[in-house]
Structure 1
Amino acid sequence: MKLVAVSAGLSTPSSTRLLADRLAESVRDDLGTQGHEVEVEVIELRELALAVANNLVTGFPASQLAYAIDAVTGADGVIAVTPVFTASYSGLFKSFFDLIDPAALTGKPVLVAATGGTARHSLVLEHALRPLFAYLRAAVVPTAVYVASEDWGARGDAYTDGLPARIRRAGAELAVLMAARPPAEAEAPEDEVTALERQLSDLRFD
């Protein structure tokens, strides 16, 4: 199985990336106990920021960005994590998912998560992230994970409360959906002519 985590964190190190890693680890462990082998890949959007902007203007994705889009659309499950900016997801996060075909995530298991400086922004999960992936017709797991600054140091039992319990619960839900779906089949690579035809068909004239 292929699990792809998308992290829109801008700093290094990043709490957003840390959350993505912990969620991915939870999903992999849960699937591992069911006998599934899981390949995990993390996509750092900060490394693709310029390519995302250029693609929005020109309609042509650079090779690294095209690879990231194909990784997300070809995964068996996706973890999407964004920092909160102005009470919503980051512009980079939204811009990346704007480049994905609206039908490409149909039925795909997705776990949404966010990081922020205060717990007051936790509703971003329900009023911004969940509607975004509902529009893309993804199968979003019931438990979304929001982590404020104070959550990182809070003590809590991994099975009953606190951040560890939320990560474990969300990871288990994504694992269930991934295990219930047939494995994603790898698409044959496009030749240069087919790739050019696809890019030309995607050109926008607005």
Structure 2
Amino acid sequence: MKLVVVSAGLSVPSSTRLLGDRLAAAAVRGTAADVQVVELRDLAVEIAHNFTNGFPGPGLSDAIDAVTSADGLIVVTPVFSASYSGLFKSFFDVLTVGDKDALAGKPVLIAATGGSGRHSLVLEHALRPLFAYLRAVVVPTGVYAASEDWGAEGLAERIERAAGELAGLMGAVPVAAAAPVRAGGGFEVIPFEQQLEALRP
């Protein structure tokens, strides 16, 4: 099982990366899943060159391979001008220009950071439509963290809920944890990827 975090944070240290790390830790807790982080800040030049010459550099090529081979994604962006960052969008443009189905059916947890809670709707107005267009399966709970949320009540609970939803879609949650057996009989939880495979012609 492989989980990839795509972080578009620009600063060092980055609250965007911190949020991605916390979400990943919660999603793979108690499993043998591998976690890989793609820092878009380090790929900015290669992303720009890819637009002009059509060829990904070695770092960008590795990042594309990581994302397309992942069993699940956590994508985190800082908020700029009430939307995702240009670097974030550019990466997913590059990713899908060669393969429009690169994210089709892939479980994705969306998250964002910003200086004010007033931008929390970026999850629903920008990120969710983007990944719905790319035909990814976006988990119901997105996580937005404003500056005042760090250390405050509520953020940890949102992280756990969203991470649990992603783990369930990835099939990383044991059946007993994902769906407790009811008295008088139980039911089987079928991992999302298996359900999706059954629908394919």
In structure 2, what is the Cα distance between the partners aligned to 1:136 and 1:63?
Answer: 24
For residue 148 of structure 1, the aligned residue among 136, 146, 149 is 146
1:153 Cα offset (Å): 2.4
The answer to whether the aligner puts 1:62 opposite 2:57 as a matched pair is: yes
Superposed CA deviations along residues 57-111 of structure 1, whole A, max 9, x for unmatched, are 1110001101101100110000000000000000000000001122011000000
In structure 2, what is the Cα distance between the partners aligned to 1:153 and 1:112?
Answer: 21
The answer to whether the aligner puts 1:38 opposite 2:30 as a matched pair is: no
Matches within 5 A, 1:180-191: 180=191, 181=193
In structure 2, what is the Cα distance between the partners aligned to 1:106 and 1:37?
Answer: 24
SS in 1 for 2:79: strand
Name stretches of at least 5 consecutive residues in structure 2 with no aligned partner: 172-190, 195-201
Q: Which moved more, 1:173-182 or 1:77-86?
A: 173-182
2:177 counterpart residue number: none
1:123 counterpart residue number: 121
The answer to whether the aligner puts 1:166 opposite 2:152 as a matched pair is: no
Question: Could you tell me the TM-score, scaled by structure 1's length?
Answer: 0.82
For residue 178 of structure 1, the aligned residue among 170, 174, 178 is 170
2:70 counterpart residue number: 75
2:10 counterpart residue number: 10
The size of the alignment, in residue pairs, is 171
In structure 1, what is the Cα distance between the partners aligned to 2:144 and 2:52?
Answer: 32
In structure 2, what is the Cα distance between the partners aligned to 1:57 and 1:146?
Answer: 33
Name stretches of at least 5 consecutive residues in structure 1 with no aligned partner: 157-161, 183-206
SS in 1 for 2:111: strand
1:103 counterpart residue number: 101
In structure 2, what is the Cα distance between the partners aligned to 1:83 and 1:165?
Answer: 21
Instruction: Report runs of 4+ in structure 1 exceeding 6 Å deviation.
Output: none
Question: Could you tell me the TM-score, scaled by structure 2's length?
Answer: 0.84
1:138 counterpart residue number: 136
In structure 2, what is the Cα distance between the partners aligned to 1:22 and 1:51?
Answer: 27
1:133 Cα offset (Å): 0.2
2:119 partner letter: H
SS in 1 for 2:11: coil
1:196 counterpart residue number: none
1:14 partner letter: S
2:37 partner letter: V
1:192 counterpart residue number: none
RMSD between superposed Cα atoms in Å: 0.8
In structure 2, what is the Cα distance between the partners aligned to 1:37 and 1:141?
Answer: 21
In structure 2, what is the Cα distance between the partners aligned to 1:4 and 1:78?
Answer: 5
1:133 partner letter: F
